[in-house]
Amino acid sequence: MKLNRSLVISLVLTIFLSAVYRAMPNRPWGFAPQFAIALFAGAIFVKDKKWAFALPLISMFISDLLYQFLYNKGLTEIPGFYKGQWVNYLLFTSLTIFGFMVRSQKPMQVLGASIATPTTFFLISNFMVWAGGGGLKRPKTFEGLMMCYNDALPFYANSLMATAIFSAILFGGYYFLNQSVAKKNISL
């Protein structure tokens, strides 16, 4: 895929703005664009997969730098970096694979991936929290696992909404950008 200048500028702005948005105080928990960026990157960087994995990772890293800065200044209780975070980065980055399945970028494919991505993250990450004794330290029973999943339902609902909304913005914007470029090429 050959990147044109306006697409590169759009991607850089998207990464920066999404990182800033994720670190904003009082944002609804779980309502962030990073899953949508992973989907989008996987869908548009079919041949150059290193960029597909890099874009969401860069966005997460920049937002974690911002979180750490705010934490160091005493402006938030959330640190940007913590023990075991690499596992979260690995899980998050692997979700880009769902974007590879959205090759034709049809709305129903995007919607399906927008549901599958946060659902997969919800199931795996909360299992890891429960198994590792994190969160609210639920008992190591099936009931304890279900309690852990229940604890995270508000985050999950917000991540579903955010992924659908931000995916519509990213994929829709990309579609209209391509239409605009195609019209300019036809009129030349």
Enumerate residues 6+ apart whose C-beta is below 8 A from 112.
none
Angle ∠(96,97,101) on CA atoms, nearest 5: 115
Angle ∠(56,59,65) on CA atoms, nearest 5: 140
What percent of the chain is predicted at pLDDT more than 90?
52
Give the pLDDT confidence of 117-156 residue by residue, as tens digits.
Answer: 999 999 999 999 999 988 789 999 999 999 999 999 999 9
pTM: 0.86
Give the pLDDT confidence of 24-35 residue by residue, as tens digits.
Answer: 888 888 899 999
Enumerate residues 6+ apart whose C-beta is below 8 A from 42.
52, 96, 97, 98, 99, 100, 101, 102
Q: What is the pLDDT of residue 97?
A: 94
**CATH of region 5-187, choose from 1.10.3470, 1.10.1760, 3.30.750, 3.10.450:** 1.10.1760
Give the pLDDT confidence of 100-124 residue by residue, as tens digits.
Answer: 998 778 899 999 999 999 999 999 9
Question: Could you state, in order of their start, the residue ranges of all structural domains in the chain?
Answer: 5-187
Angle ∠(20,97,40) on CA atoms, nearest 5: 45
Tokens matching residue 85: 């975070």
Q: What is the pLDDT of residue 84?
A: 80
Helical ranges in the chain per DSSP H: 5-22, 34-44, 49-72, 85-94, 96-100, 107-132, 142-151, 153-187
